[in-house]
């Protein structure tokens, strides 16, 4: 039986892990390599690295770190942030990424999904969507959640899947950083619309939120979180033990 | 020395790193002479079967792999590399494989309930067949490994050494004498995967 995946997310800027609350007020947390190794050893099923660096120098720093991570950690690695072209795909795949997550780059140029899926396979292309309710409608936001694209989220995500996205990371801006649980309503709408794996992101405040997520929405494949893991509020072994107790299949380490 | 076949398909960085992590010397190569000189060969691969088979043939490595395997050299195919070991695949048409293991590659969609997602992505538990392969000496029944695939190996019961349950029993690993293959990615399957690669490194070839 396929297991539910637990995925810590590491936002990396200038070679360090940072985490924003509602995408603002970033604070330096730790070394990506050390933190990645710690998570892998404690049972993380996958790691996501978002490169939130803007400068070329920071980009180089990021690929150096990615290589170091891929040399020491043998679980799937997804990389996102600043992916705007096939060259960007090439760059991170060459340095050790297994999957590449596109967000604003795909909003600017949806064909990027198609071209990347054709070259590297659907399994390599993850569509990450930052979604927020605006007047009761799910809208897609770009540029790290700062800009309302006006696009309706469900049709954007369906379009992404038809272009070749192999997985969806759904990040609810409404619940992100609030720590009161995942956005079940939004996730349910996306799971009903697409048949590729859906990864829930935004809102986890504790172990119970993951139990609720997988119990309420069995179609969700994975739960992603950052700060609750980085600050040790939730450890992955404790989280997995609780999921197992609730008959939710998870990988043992 | 272990040779990882480079024929322009897939990312070989993790594979090379995983051998380094278990202290095995591995080279990434597209040269026939290096493959002939290697103690063992890894055939990786991601993407579509037809493209990959064409690329192998275009660089003439298909003959080299078949010859080396027939001489008794240990050969492991990974993911699409495993599928290439079979006679043929029905991924977008019909394509011939290396025919080192009897069987064919078919869409998972034919086999599993339509409610299940395709590709089969994620960590799934291994079930061994009756006679446990030495490849799994460091692995327990139920240990999870990482899968990403939309096609599976069919009609190969005699060679199956492990399966994974996903609406049906999917072929997870195969072995026929010195030729073996994993549908999952051992290089992405944590300590369990590294143990499988380690066991492969310790396999004795019959090359003379």
Give the DSSP letter string of chain A: -BPPEEEEEEEEETTEEEEEETTEEEEEEE-HHHHHHHHHHHT-S-EEEEE---SHHHHHHHHHHHHHHHHH--S-EEEESS--SHHHHHHHHHTT-SEEEESHHHHH-THHHHHHHHHH-GGGEEEEEEEEEETTEEEEEETTTTEEEEEEHHHHHHHHHHHT--EEEEEETTTTTT-S---HHHHHHHHHH--S-EEEES---SHHHHHHHHHH-TT--EEEESHHHHTTSS-HHHHHHHHHHTT------
Which of B10, B16, B24, B117 should be substituted to probe chain A, the one whose Cβ sees the most A Cβ atoms within 10 Å? Answer: B117
A-chain CB neighbours of B191 within 8 Å are 74, 253
Residue B158, SS3 per DSSP: helix
Q: CA of B146 to nearest chain A CA: how many angstroms apart?
A: 8
pTM: 0.93
Q: How far is CA A237 from CA A9, A40, A77, A207, in A?
A: 17, 11, 20, 11
Q: Which residues of chain B have pLDDT under 70?
A: 205-208
**Residue of chain A nearest B141, judged by CA positions:** A252
CA distance B87 to B154: 11
Active site residue A130: yes
Selected catalytic residue, list B91, B149, B185, B201: B185
CB-based burial label for A67 (10 Å; 0-12, 13-18, 19+): middle
pLDDT value of position A58: 77
Radius of gyration of chain A (CA): 17
Q: How far is B6 from chain A (nearest CA, A)?
A: 14
Using a CB-CB cut-off of 8 Å, the residues of chain A touching B144 are 3, 251-252
- Determine whether the interchain pair A74/B166 forms a contact, defined as Cβ–Cβ distance below 8 Å: no
Length of chain A: 253
Q: Cβ contacts (< 8 Å) between A94 and chain B: which residues?
A: 11, 13
Check CB contact of B121 with chain A, cutoff 8 Å: yes
How many of the other CB atoms lie within 10 Å of CB of B193?
Answer: 24
> Taking CA atoms, what residue in A is nearest to B118?
A196
pLDDT tens, residue order, chain A (253 aa): 899 999 999 988 888 887 644 334 434 446 888 888 889 999 999 999 999 876 777 788 888 999 999 999 999 999 999 899 999 999 899 888 999 999 999 999 999 999 999 888 888 999 999 999 999 999 999 988 889 999 999 999 999 999 999 999 999 999 998 999 999 999 999 999 999 999 999 999 999 999 999 999 999 999 999 888 887 789 999 999 999 999 999 999 8
ipTM attached to this prediction? 0.91
Is there a contact between B43 and B15 (Cβ–Cβ < 8 Å)?
no
**A205 and B CB contact within 8 Å:** no
Q: How far is B52 from chain A (nearest CA, A)?
A: 12
Q: Which chain B residue shows the shortest CA-CA distance from A70?
A: B14
A contacts of B143 (beta carbons < 8 Å)? 252
Annotated catalytic residue, options A45, A51, A88, A130: A130
CB contacts, 8 Å: B83 with chain A: none
Which chain A residue's Cα is nearest to B145?
Answer: A251
Chain A with chain B: Cβ pairs closer than 8 A:
88
Instruction: Write down the pLDDT at residue A70.
Output: 92
Q: Which residues of chain A neighbour B148 with C-beta distances below 8 Å?
A: 123
β-pair type (A5-13, A222-225): parallel
Q: Does B187 touch chain A (CB under 8 A)?
A: yes
3-state secondary structure of B63: helix
What integer pLDDT is reported at residue A19 of this predicted model?
A: 64
Extents of the domains making up chain A = 5-245
pLDDT at A34: 84
Q: Which of A1, A70, A124 sits opposite B17 (nearest CB)?
A: A70
Choose the mutation target among A38, A45, A74, A126 for the interface with B, i.e. most B CBs under 10 Å: A74
Q: What pLDDT sits at residue A236? A: 94
pLDDT for A26 equals: 39
β-sheet bridge partners, residue A169: A128, A199
Predicted local confidence at residue B207, as pLDDT: 46
Residue pair A172/A183 in contact by the 8 Å Cβ criterion: yes
* Interface residue A178 vs chain B (CB under 8 A): no
Q: Beta strand A47-51 with B40-43: parallel, antiparallel or unpaired?
A: unpaired
Alpha helices in B25-177 (DSSP H): 32-37, 49-58, 61-70, 80-83
* CATH code reported for the domain at B2-201: 3.40.50.880
Residues of chain A with Cβ-Cβ distance to B79 below 8 Å are: none
Q: Does residue B200 sit in helix, strand or coil?
A: helix
The two beta strands, B2-5 and B26-29, are: parallel
Phi-psi region of A96 (alpha: psi -120 to 50; beta: other; left: phi over 0): left
| Strand (E) or helix (H) holding B196 | helix B190-201
Q: Which of B139, B145, B195 is CA-nearest to residue B166?
A: B145
Q: What number of other Cβ atoms are within 10 A of residue A54's Cβ?
A: 12
Instruction: State the Cα–Cα distance between residues A32 and A49, nearest whole angstrom.
Output: 8
CB contact A37 to B (< 8 Å)? no
- Taking the CA of residue A4 and the nearest CA in chain B, the distance in Å comes to 8
- What is the predicted pLDDT for the residue at B205? 65
Chain B interface includes A123 (CB < 8 A): yes
What is the maximum alpha-carbon separation in chain A? 47
CATH architecture of the region A5-245:
Alpha-Beta Barrel (3.20)
Q: How far does CA B185 lie from the centroid of its chain?
A: 8
């Amino acid at each position: 039986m396929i297991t539910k995946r637990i995925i810590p997310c590491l936002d990396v800027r200038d070679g360090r892990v940072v985490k924003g609350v509602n995408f603002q007020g970033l604070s330096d947390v730790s070394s990506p390599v050390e933190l990645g190794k710690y998570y892998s050893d404690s049972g993380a099923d996958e790691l996501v690295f978002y490169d939130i660096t803007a400068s070329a120098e920071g980009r180089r720093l990021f690929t150096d770190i990615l290589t170091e991570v891929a040399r020491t950690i043998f679980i799937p690695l997804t990389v996102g942030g600043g992916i705007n072209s096939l060259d960007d795909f090439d760059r991170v795949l060459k340095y050790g990424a297994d999957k590449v997550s596109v967000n604003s780059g795909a909003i600017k140029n949806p064909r990027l999904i198609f071209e990347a899926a054709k070259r590297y396979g659907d399994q390599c292309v993850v569509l990450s969507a930052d979604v927020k309710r605006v007047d009761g409608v799910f809208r897609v936001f770009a540029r790290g959640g700062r800009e309302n694209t006006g696009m309706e989220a469900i049709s954007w995500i369906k379009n992404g899947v038809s272009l070749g996205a192999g997985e969806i990371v759904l990040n609810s801006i409404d619940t992100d950083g609030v720590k009161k649980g995942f956005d079940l309503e939004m996730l349910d709408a996306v799971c009903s619309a697409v048949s590729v794996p859906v990864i829930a992101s935004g809102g986890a405040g504790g172990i119970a939120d993951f139990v609720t997520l997988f119990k309420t929405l069995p179609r969700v494949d994975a739960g992603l979180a950052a700060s609750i893991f980085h600050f040790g509020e939730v450890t992955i072994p404790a989280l997995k033990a609780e999921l197992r107790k609730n008959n939710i299949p998870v990988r043992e380490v | 020395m272990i040779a990882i076949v480079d024929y322009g398909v897939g990312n070989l960085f993790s594979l090379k790193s995983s051998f380094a992590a278990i202290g095995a010397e591995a080279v990434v190569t597209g040269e026939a002479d290096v493959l002939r000189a290697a103690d063992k060969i890894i055939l990786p691969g991601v993407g579509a079967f037809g493209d990959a088979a064409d690329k192998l043939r275009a660089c003439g490595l298909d003959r080299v792999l078949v010859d080396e395997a027939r001489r008794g050299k240990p050969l492991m195919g990974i993911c699409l590399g495993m599928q290439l070991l079979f006679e043929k695949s029905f991924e977008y048409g019909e394509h011939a494989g290396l025919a080192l293991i009897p069987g064919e590659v078919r869409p998972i969609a034919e086999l599993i309930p339509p409610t299940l997602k395709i590709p089969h992505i994620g960590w799934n538990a291994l079930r061994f067949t009756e006679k446990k392969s030495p490849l799994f000496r460091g692995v327990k029944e139920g240990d999870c490994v990482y899968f990403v695939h939309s096609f599976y190996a069919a009609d190969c019961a005699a060679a199956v050494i492990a399966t994974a349950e996903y609406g049906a029993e999917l072929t997870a690993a195969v072995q026929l004498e010195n030729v073996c293959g994993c549908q999952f990615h051992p290089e992405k399957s944590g300590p369990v995967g590294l143990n499988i690669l380690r066991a492969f490194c310790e396999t004795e070839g019959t090359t003379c």
